[in-house]
Structure 1
Amino acid sequence: MDKIDVIGFFLLGISTRTTNQNGQAAQDIGDLWCRFMDDNILLQIEDRVSDEVHCVYTEYETDHTGPYTAVLGCKVNSLDDIPEGLVSLVVAPGTYVKFTAKSWMPDRVAETWQHIWNSSLNRKYTADFDVYGCPGQNPEDARVEIYVAVE
């Protein structure tokens, strides 16, 4: 894990409100991914910076045990044109600790998040995010970068 400064960015995508209690987030975020793929959300985001997909966790009610919002989408150059049905998000600049999950496989990403939840990081609970490389990559070979906002 590395501590780094991240510049802020704009994101367009789709969202859901969820919680980690009773495995609810796994179901909700899995459904969000299905919707993202089935509805070709990537192609609806015309002003995207790249095809990397970000899953941003924000609007934490308390900490990782309480409700929060997950937004799945892509970085964009501006929020001037938001297609109908998509949500926008501004991720503020800040200091983050970067982790790497060894594949896109949901269990590998979940294992990394379990490690984060059990760590002693001084988290800010503003916006944390996962970065998934281009969708065409083999999920078993791809890496997922996880950024956790810290004080």
Structure 2
Amino acid sequence: MKYELVELKEMMVAGLLARTNNFAPDMGNVISGLWDQFMGIYPSVMYKVNEKTLGIYTEYEGRETEDYSLLAACEVEKKEGQPNGITIKIIPAGTYAKFIAEGEGKDAVAKVWQQLWNMSLPRSFICDFEEYETLKEGHVRVHVYIGLKK
């Protein structure tokens, strides 16, 4: 699978946080429930940089087979004035492998992750994230950024 190496600057994000594991029986419900909640409060998030939403994976206990935190979020300029319950996190600056998926929502992203797990990237397991862009109803372009070791 093709990817591009990119250097990203630090980004501040605001969103809702959950903890899960790729092998947890309720993982799908945790993630979809988190997104449903976030989209409900999305209009009230202040100081958005753009209209893109982000799925951020961080606080890994180890590798992709262990627990991690997931933040459904958007990039913001300021942390002040955000709605109650919002978590502010920083996506660290660094080198990321950038993959592009395009297709029907969840299916497009799932295919990328399935392939990623079989690649031997020098992953940092500090922060990975997805950046969603809606092309038309139900059809998305997703940029998947995988944090790499220095």
Q: TM-score, normalized by length of structure 2? A: 0.91
Spell out, residue by residue over 1:93-148, the C-alpha distance to the aligned partner (whole angstroms, 9 max, x if none).
010000111125212211100111110001000110000125x84222x2111000
Long gaps (5+) in structure 1: none
Seen in structure 2, the aligned counterparts of structure 1 residues 24 and 96 have a Cα distance that, compared at 3 Å, is: farther
Q: Give distance in 1, aligned partners of 2:47 and 2:59.
A: 25
SS at match of 1:102: strand
* 2:92 aligned partner: 92
Is the 1:104–1:132 contact (alpha carbons within 8 Å) kept by the matching residues of 2?
Answer: no
Q: Displacement of 1:34 after TM fit? A: 1.5
- Partner Cα distance (1:22, 1:69) in 2: 13
**Equivalent position of 1:108 in the other structure:** 108
Distance 1:51 1:67, change over 3 A: same
Residue of structure 1 in register with 2:70 after alignment: 70
**Conserved 8 A contact 1:104-1:144:** no
Q: Which residues in structure 2 correspond to 1:33-72 (within 5 Å)?
A: 33-37=35-39, 39=40, 41-72=41-72
* Residue in structure 2 matched with residue 32 of structure 1 by the alignment: 34
Aligned to 1:5: 7
Runs (5+) with no aligned partner, structure 2: none
In the alignment, is the contact (CA less than 8 A) between 1:11 and 1:73 conserved in 2? Answer: yes
| Equivalent position amino acid for 2:11 in 1 | F
- Asked if structure 2 preserves the Cα contact closer than 8 Å seen for 1:42 and 1:51, the reply is no
For residues 49 and 104 of structure 1, what CA distance do their matches in structure 2 show?
25
Give SS of 2:66's match.
coil
Cα 1:54–1:69 shift into 2, 3 Å: same
Report the Cα distance in structure 2 between the residues aligned to 1:137 and 1:123, rounded to whole angstroms. Answer: 32
C-alpha displacement at 1:42, in angstroms? 1.4
TM-score, L = length of structure 1: 0.90
Contact 1:82–1:88 (8 Å) recurs in 2 = no
Aligned residues: 147
